[in-house]
Amino acid sequence: MTSRKNKNFPIVAIGASAGGLAAFEAFFSGMPDSAKPDMAFVLIQHLAPDHKSILTEIIGKFTTMQVFEVEDGMTIQPNCTYIIPPGKDMALLNGALQLLEPSAPRGRRLPIDFFFRSMSEDQHEQAIGIILSGTGTDGTLGIRAIKEEGGMVMVQSPASAEHDGMPNSAIATGLVDYELSPSEMPSQLMAYVNHAFGKLAKSVTSSTAESENILNKIFILLRTHTGNDFSSYKHSTVHRRIERRMGINRIDTMENYLLYAQETPSEVEALFQDMLIGVTKFFRDSDAFSALEKKIVPKLFDKRSISEPIRIWIPGCSTGEEAYSIAILVKEKLNLLKKNHQIHVFATDIDSKAIDIARKGVYPEGIAADVSQERLACFFTAEENGNFYRIHKNIRDMMIFSEQNAIKDPPFSKLDLISCRNLMIYLDVNIQKKLISLFHYALKPGGFLFLGNSETVGEFNNLYDTLDRKAKIYQSRADFNDLKRGNLSRLLVSTSEMKPIGIKSTEKEPMDTKNTLRHLTEQTLLQQTNLSSALINEKGDILYLHGRTGKYLELPSGEFDRNILKMARVGLKHTLTTAIHKAVRTNETIQYQGLQVKTNGDFTTVNLSIRAVETDTGEFSGKHLYLVILEEVPQTIQKPDFQNTETTTEGDVHIEGLKAELRAKEEYLQAANEELETSNESLRALNEEMQSVNEELQSTNEELETSKEELQSVNEELTTVNSELQIKLIDLSQVNNDMNNLLAGTNIATVFVDYDLNILRFTPAATKIINLIPSDVGRSVGHVLTNLEDYNSLTKDVKEVLDTLKSKEIEVQTKEGRWYTLRINPYRTLENVIEGAVIIFIDIDQLVTAREALYRANERQRLAVVVRDSRDAITVQDLKGQILAWNLSAERLYGWNEREALDMNVSNRIPEDLKMKESEVLKSLSLSEILEPYKTKRIRKDGSVVEIWMIATALVDEKGKMYGI
């Protein structure tokens, strides 16, 4: 096997699913027959693994190129088409096609993504991917890999696709270069290849100085249009992106491309998107993420209080796969620890489209190749028949996505982990140094930095300790922390033009003088009031506390619970419960006066009021909040009245009665509270049961989703098989029509019978020989009457042919007198299996007639020779005595020559003694008798009489039929 590595021709991979056959036909039919595209085509179609594909045969009808079904290790050659075999995954390595057993179950196989990825890694910018009709999202992740390597992507326009699932999914990525119908693709493809890889490609690069000058102008266009400066990117990378755009637009020089970009704002946006294509996927570089999971994630929780959040920053997050991957690792550890730490994952990028995708958290089914089934089940929800996965809300709530330029915008601070992988490889050395220092500024002392495989901290070993050199994990040194804090401005590029995008500035804005006076006044008034309050939601959860609320609220024992009803002291709880329910129900201000609340062994008189709070902005916008206000009522000091001690005594008794009544109510409320708690426990148990049932239903739903995916895959495969069979049916119908017209045109009577001699089919000509009608199909041929004369052994002869497997041929005659050759042959299938016999009647009536005529002619010729050369006098007469022939001996005997003898027929002057009696002639015609000579007298022309022996002869066939005498 020879390798084609370094051979300069592009490889075009075409992926399709349901409806792909029609698209393939249109694609190859649109390619000129005379053109040699100088590229190779690889077709990846969703095929049924248990059904032999005829795709190779079908595609071969629409192209003049050689078409192969791939064999393992087959080397790709230009101007050839290669088709994936059923039940296999296929990859490309050093220009050779490698077949693998599918690792995923039937419903989750994504052969297009698999091949696109391997092709992009093997062919780089020479890889071209095309997505045609199909359901699902197969190919979506594959085209990202192709674009990352500088390749080109085409997609069938959804309007022209029989199934638009795959085309729409690919178009949604924003990475598609051409959106065309299949018939329009070949011309555009050949034009692109000619510009990108042909002779025109050599004229792209100008002189270094001129090229740099043009490049700077393109940077200005990008900065003006997008607000982002790419001048700090590696110029080699930028050149490759520009050359790719030139090939797509068929522009031969950078000068012309600059003019085109100036006149076409959409092209500047397309170049911007090409510049932002990054390498990303879930858990990319599994070994590095495994090291992060084992060595770093546990350290994030070491010696950390519940109130201290974990802060993580992922600059250049692209579409969010890496950010979600890290969030999943942290969440898994959090679940193991069973703690309630707050996690803040800041994910930023300059690409607004990528950020929108990341915020949605919806990814194509192809991520199953990178995410384990356990994590898919735990952190993702399948949507749209399993074609997409949505990240769970518990992970999404940890994420904060925003637009930010890490090079010039202020960073986040007090971070525990920064993951910046494969961003700096696109930047020049000076910007890389700036970013490494910036990351050190943003990290806490002892924070961690996670870089890509090709990135290091370089010369900044004094800022970081290396924890894992292979995984590129570093730790910020604490001894430099104090020194670095005041030097943020020197770490940012173009600080004077800094415009933070999507995040709030860390600098304090100067406070308005009027706002300062207002704030001072409000704070003074609050200090003068004796109010305690709590801001709660409709469930009673405390969001904010003001004033000294400890007199009325106390923390319960056990796990922390921020519900205000659980914290309310004796004397407040019952009324507060009633008031909250009433406020939520009516949305009005509720007030209760003179409540006796037990505080530190004594009772305090409190006024309670609850009012609704309107929220129009912020994270609580649209939510119902309520302010609980507790106001202590000052005790009135009364002077003792020494003149009326009896009244005082009665008052004391009344007070004691009130106290007793109050204690009874407290006990009642306590009992009611205990009953409520019991009910709550029952409800909690019921809730746990419901959760268990819900988990079971969720498990069942996941199984059903899996079954649904498998059925969808089978349906796609069956659609492809059905399309193949439809094409085969059309071909067979055409062949059947040709055969019917052939048999009808040759007028050959043919009858097909099975092994049991039952009639299968027959031609129209057969009905003239055998009395057949359409309803005779299925009957035994021996039960049908024939029009043959003296032939009744048809059944016997057919059985003999089936027993001996030797053909048989017989001449037969119909009752109308027509002659046929009856030929009986065994009926053989393509597998050489005998399944019956073929009975053929060939019309030979004209042949028999010609043969008999020839026979008679031959006999007459032989008789004429005998008559002419005989020494005996021979005359030939018909049954009426007319002279037909007269030899020389007869002329000598009778004296008349042949002309004179024939003239006597006309004049009717034949002597009676010359006439041969008809009875004598007929007697001589019997084959069973010997023609006997007899003696007679004959008169000559001159009147003399002679005695001669007269022999009557006749020309007859083997049955005695006479032709002449």
Least confident of 172-181, 312-321, 780-789, 879-888: 879-888
Confidence label for 908 from pLDDT (cuts 50, 70 and 90): low
3-state secondary structure of 16: strand
Tell me the two tokens of residue 908. 């009717």
Which residue pairs from 456-463 have beta carbons closer than 8 angstroms and sit at least 24 positions apart in sequence? 458/432, 458/433, 459/433, 460/433, 460/436, 463/436, 463/437
Best mean pLDDT range from 231-235, 706-710, 878-882: 231-235
- Specify the DSSP element, H or E, that contains 630: strand 625-632
Residue 326: what pLDDT? 93
Residues contacting 908, CB < 8 A, separation 6+ = none
Q: What pLDDT shows up at residue 667?
A: 61
φ, ψ of residue 339 in degrees (nearest 5): -120, 170
> Is residue 502 scored above 60 in pLDDT?
no
Residues in Cβ contact with 115 at an 8 Å cutoff, skipping those fewer than 6 apart: 13, 15, 42, 44, 84, 89, 90, 91, 92, 142
**657 has a pLDDT exceeding 80:** no
Strands 473-476 and 464-468: antiparallel
Pair 455, 424: CB distance under 8 Å: yes
pLDDT value at residue 654 = 64
Per-residue pLDDT for 777 more than 90? no
pLDDT digits (tens, 9 = 90+) for 80-97: 999 988 888 888 888 889
Dihedral over alpha carbons 688, 691, 692, 696 (to 10 degrees):
170
Lowest mean per-residue pLDDT among 290-304, 596-610, 804-818, 859-873: 859-873
Q: What integer pLDDT is reported at residue 448 of this predicted model? A: 93
- What are the b/e assignments for 444-460, b being 16+ CB within 10 Å? eeebbbbbbeebbbeeb
Contact at 8 Å (CB) between 883 and 875?
Answer: yes
> What is the predicted pLDDT for the residue at 419?
92
In whole angstroms, what is the distance from residue 241 CA to residue 238 CA? 5
Long-range contacts of 287-294 (CB under 8 A, 24+ apart): 287/470, 287/471, 288/450, 288/453, 288/470, 288/471, 288/472, 288/473, 289/325, 289/329, 291/468, 291/470, 291/471, 291/473, 292/326, 292/329, 292/450, 292/471, 292/473, 293/329, 293/332, 293/333
* Sign of the four-CA dihedral 944, 949, 951, 952: positive
Q: CA-to-CA distance for 334 and 314, rounded, in angstroms?
A: 19
Which range is least confidently modeled, 344-348, 658-662, 778-782?
Answer: 658-662
User: How open is the CA angle 891-894-896, to the nearest 5 degrees?
Assistant: 55
Query: If DSSP codes are grouped into helix, strand and coil, which group holds residue 896?
Result: coil
| Closest C-alpha to 808, from 795, 822, 789 | 822
Measure CA 3 to chain center.
Answer: 30
Mean pLDDT of 118-128: 87
> What b/e string do you get for 838-873 counting C-beta neighbours within 10 Å, with b at 16 or more?
bbbbbbbeeebeeeeeeeeeeebeebeeebeeeeeb
Average pLDDT, integer, range 322-347: 90
Q: Find residue 837's DSSP bridge partners.
A: 753, 826
> Tell me, what's the pLDDT at 47?
77
- For residue 109, pLDDT over 80 is answered with no
Mean pLDDT of 804-824: 88
Query: Is the predicted pLDDT of residue 65 greater than 80, yes or no?
Result: yes
d(CA 408, CA 348): 13
List CB contacts of 715: < 8 A, sequence separation 6 or more: 18
**Hey, CA dihedral for 660, 665, 666, 672, is it positive or negative?**
positive
pLDDT value at position 506? 37
| Planar angle of CA 609, 612, 613, nearest 5 degrees | 120
Averaging pLDDT over each range in 34-43, 340-349, 728-737, 858-867, which range is the top one? 340-349
Tokens found for residue 472: 């590129």
Sheet of 343-349: strand order equals: 399-403, 343-349, 310-315, 415-420, 443-451, 473-476, 464-468
Task: Please return the burial class of 251, using the count of CB atoms within 10 Å of its CB with bins 0-12, 13-18 and 19+.
Answer: buried
Using DSSP bridges, classify how beta strands 883-886 and 602-613 pair: parallel, antiparallel or unpaired.
unpaired
What's the confidence (pLDDT) of residue 418?
93
pLDDT for the residue 649? 60
| HEC assignment per residue over 762-809 | ECHHHHHCECCCHHHCCCEHHHCCECEECCCCHHHHHHHHHHHCCCEE
- pLDDT at residue 205 in the model: 45
- Is the model's pLDDT at 200 over the cut of 50? no
pLDDT (average), residues 599-625: 77
Burial (CB count <10 Å: 0-12, 13-18, 19+), residue 583: buried
> Is 278 a residue whose pLDDT tops 80?
no
Give SS3 for 934: strand
Beta strands, E only, 844-942: 875-877, 883-886, 934-939
Question: In sequence order, what are the residues at sequence separation of 6 or more whose Cβ sits closer than 8 angstroms to the Cβ of residue 590?
Answer: 579, 582, 583, 609, 610, 611
Number of Cβ within a 10 Å radius of residue 942:
7
**What is the arithmetic mean of pLDDT over 918-931?**
42
Mean pLDDT in the chain? 77
Tens-digit pLDDT profile for residues 536-546: 988 888 888 88
What integer pLDDT is reported at residue 942 of this predicted model? 59
* pLDDT of 614 higher than 60: yes
Give the span between the Cα atoms of 85 and 935, in whole angstroms: 97
Evaluate if residue 929 carries a pLDDT over 50: no
What does the block give as tokens for 257? 């491309």
The confidence score (pLDDT) of residue 867 equals: 65
For 377-422, the pLDDT digits (tens) are: 899 988 877 778 899 988 998 999 988 888 878 788 889 999 988 8
Percent of the chain with pLDDT over 90: 9
More confident residue, 597 or 227: 597
Q: Is the pLDDT of residue 645 over 90?
A: no
Q: Residue 152: which of 83, 58, 56, 248 has the closest Cα?
A: 248
Residues 6+ apart with CB under 8 A from 588: 582, 612
State the pLDDT at residue 915.
58
Count the alpha carbons within 13 Å of 858 in the hemisphere toward its beta carbon: 7
Give me the sign of the Cα torsion angle 652, 653, 654, 658. positive
Q: d(Cα 279, Cα 139) in Å, to the nearest integer?
A: 16
Q: Any idea how long the chain is?
A: 965
- Band of residue 890 on the pLDDT scale cut at 50, 70, 90: confident
Q: What is the pLDDT of residue 634?
A: 76
Q: Determine the longest span between alpha carbons in the chain, in angstroms.
A: 212
Least confident of 8-17, 306-315, 713-722: 713-722
Of the candidate ranges 208-222, 722-736, 862-876, 946-960, the one whose mean pLDDT is the lowest: 946-960
> Two tokens at 650?
């009665």
Q: Is residue 420 a contact partner of residue 399, using CB atoms and an 8 Å limit?
A: no
User: Residue 851's pLDDT band (boundaries 50, 70, 90)?
Assistant: confident
Strands 625-632 and 602-613: antiparallel
Give the helix, strand, coil percentages of the chain, each rounded to 5.
Answer: 45, 20, 35
The pair of structure tokens assigned to 699 is: 């498990």
